[in-house]
Each structure stands twice: as C-alpha cells, then as structure tokens.
Structure 1
C-alpha cells in the first residue's frame, strides 16, 4: 500500500508540472511543482489515508480535459469517483468552458464506468454494496460550522472495523441529528454555484481550474463534514491558479490549521478547540472563494505565460 501511495504521489506531481507548464514558463512551473512536492513530502495525510490515489486520478482527469481528450477524461473521472466521489466536481466546472454536448459525453463516460463497477459489486454482494452507498448520507456532521451547530465535537471516524462488517450499521446515526438538514441547504448552494459559474465568460485553462476551486469551496461550505486530509485536493488548485506568494501563504496556513486540528488537538482529545479552528478554516475557505471569483479579471496582467 505504501508503494501504491508513493506512486500516486509521483503521478500527482508529474501531472501537476504538466498542467503548470501550460500556464507558466519552465522556471515558474518548476518552482510551483517543487513547492507542492515540499508540502506533500512532509504532510502525514499523504500516507495516513488513501486520498493520494483519488487526487492522482483527479489530476489525470484535469490534464485530459485541458488536452481535450474527453474519453480519457471520462475514464479517469469515473475511476476517481469509485475511489472517492470528489472527482465529480470536475464536471460542473466545465460550464461555459465546453458545449453542453461535450459535457454530456464526458459525464456519460464517467457514469458508465461507475455504474458498471457498482453493478458488478451489487451482483456479488447486494447487501454490502447498498450499505456502502447508504453510509455517507447517513453520517452525522463533523468538524464544520454545521457540526458546531449540531454539537458534534468529534472527528469523522464513526464506525469500528467490526461495525463496518455489519451492513445494518450503515444507516444508524451515531451522533446528534442536524439542526439544519443538508438536503435543505443543498438547493441553495447549487443555485449559488450555477449563478457564479454562469458568469464566467472567459474560456481558458486558468478559468477552468478556478471553476473547480469555486465548486470545491461551495461543496466544503455546504458539506456537513470536513476531514483534514481533504486539504490535499485544494493545494494543487491554490498553487496552480493564484500568484505564487498568495498561493504559498494560503497553502501553508491551511496545512497548519489542519495539522493543529488533527492530529495535535483532536488526537489528544481536545474537542473544544473546534470552536476556534473551524471558524478560522471556514473564513479561509471563503477568502479562497473570493480570490477565485476575482482572479479572472486580473489574469492578463498577472500571468504572461497563459496559453
């Protein structure tokens, strides 16, 4: 597993540099790649969790979309969604970047890959396959503003190994119910996302990458939960799209806040720290959203090597 994660990290860095070379000259793209490498190589989330695999597939999807290799993009996104659902965010970010026909084709390929694998799993074990799909929507909130409202001052770990083998456990809430149901706020955040993405008039690599960032942040602001390793998905976008000093500053601040949160404080059973750390992280996410919405206006001045 360590070798698989190391390979996924190498693929992530390789694809990051390929994407960066589309946006900047060789020197700048190498500097940004080295900064990402420096962060990832010391970040424990890269070997504590399997998210590097999803991130590598997500980066492969982004690279294929930028290269207009839609069939490969659909394949990588579909495989990424099987690892974790997050690569689906690459699809709505295509609004105003591609025609509806292209978006439909790419989405169809990704969904076919997902449906084929889940169909096979369902034939082999219908009970456990259904439980795996039901487990996420049934989870209580954790490590977010919503979790503070619900008084759920815990991490996202909610089932023991033994409980995971029992499909009945997948739909049993383990903490306080939501004060504000996620399904109630979902249409609001989706509507905001559609409005924001529809206003993006420029078609470029930068705009697409920033659109991914916008979709990501809206999801994180809506999501009832936050896991510290999810910072891995944000770092490449920050270092690819923002001015170098801004991207590095936000990356280091976000990583620092997450490490203080977990493992240092939550790992030592200090749940009250969430009352401070969660608002700080939420504020940072809002700042990132504002920057990604404002940056397209300044791209011609800030970046001279955009293709």
Structure 2
C-alpha cells in the first residue's frame, strides 16, 4: 500500500512539473525561433508605445494647426500632418493605446466567458454539454465581424460594448478548447490520484487539469489579440467604433481615403501600424504553436479569417 501511495503521489505531482515546462517553453521559444524573436520584439515595442508614448508626445492630440496642414513627413513632424494640421505620429501612438485597451478587454472577456462553459460541459456531460455545444456552434456559424457589427449597431459604440461585441464570436473557441482539453485530461492517472486524495471536482479542474491545457489556450490568445485589433479597426473604419476623444487606426484610415493622391502618408502609416501589430501577434502564435506542438507546423495565419 505504501508503494502504491508513493506512485500516486508521484503521479499527482506531474501536473505542476508539466505546467512549469509550458512556462519555460513560452519564455525560451523567442530565443530559438526567428519568427518568435521578430514577433516578440514588435510586440514589446507596440506595448511600450501604447503605455508610454502618449505621455511623451510633443504635440496635442486633437488641437488643429492650420499653418502646417497636410505637410509631408519632416523633421518637425516625422510622419506628416493631417488635413487640419494634427501630428500623424501622435495620433498613431494614441491609436495604439486604444487598440491595446480594446484587444485586452475583448480577449479576457472571451476567455472568462468561454472557458467555464467548456469546462462545465465536459465535466458534467449529458444534456448540458449537448446544449452548450449547440449554442457554441450557432455562434460560430456567423463571421466575427458580422456579429460585432450587429451588436454594436444595436447597442451603440462604447468601450464595454466593443469588448463584448468582439469577444462574443471568440467565446466558442475557448469553450471548445477547454472542453477538448478537459475530456482528454480527466481520464489521466494524475486526475485519478487527485480524486483518491479527496479533492473536489472544482479543485481538480482548476489546480490539476487547467495547467495542462494552457498551451493551446496561449496560442489562441495570441491569435485573438490580432483578431480583436482587426475587428476594432474595421468597426472604426465603418463608423461604428469609439468616438472622440478616442483615436482609432481604422478611423484614421477612413479619414485619409479622400486624400490618397495628395497625402498618401495619412493612410500608409496607420495601415503599417495596424499590419505590423497583426503580423507580430501572428508570428508569436506560430512560434508558440511550433514550440509546444512540433507535430503541427501548419501556419495559424489561415485561422485569422
């Protein structure tokens, strides 16, 4: 009996070591994968600009200066000025802060709403699991941008509403990921050992199973950050994004479309900022996927649509 208890104890310790190995993989992948390194550098720059940039800008965000309107990039205005003389670089920096705020809120909301549904369905099973899966399939039948457009059009644009509108289409992804992971893990020996030690289902789920399904969730998070930024910019371009005083890259591109021939920089630089951030998250997602699951080298960029 003592030998058996020792074996169960060693099995029970396995999840912690597996979770720590996942953490080490996340930290180490950037140094061994060029895509991860490039994406990581771009993400660090993006986050630094979003957090620090607005506080060190030399120009007022919304104050017009008609004396320098429509100026091309120069030493005074590195990325030029817009139709009423506002500094383009200053507004791009402000837009990065808005995109980060919306993306973080939307992705966290999707994870918080989706993961418990997947865990509940997989652990309880039966009619509850079937009902949850049918609802998730119904949501996934609609493109994410269409759902976001409908929700924002009905309720009006606000920060919280944008979070929910963007998160809504991502809820099924986390529900299905967690459900699949829990179904795989709950029959493992370390879960049997935890049950034998008298742990509650909730504790087993949170402390034992969840750390072992973090790898696919981490990959999905990176992709959903890129997706959230894309949807936010698209909504703003269509006039359904946040209004003043918020600045969005999508709004900047929309306002620049009438001046593409005379002032192309008004659309080029916000577009490059948007493309760069999306590329960074996609590269990090690819690198994470290959690091954590070398058998699946398929590019994740196709899942962005």
Relative to the length of structure 1, the TM-score reads 0.28
Instruction: Please identify the structure whose Cα radius of gyration is greater.
Output: 2
Relative to the length of structure 2, the TM-score reads 0.29
Relative contact order higher in (CA < 8 Å, ≥ 6 apart): 2
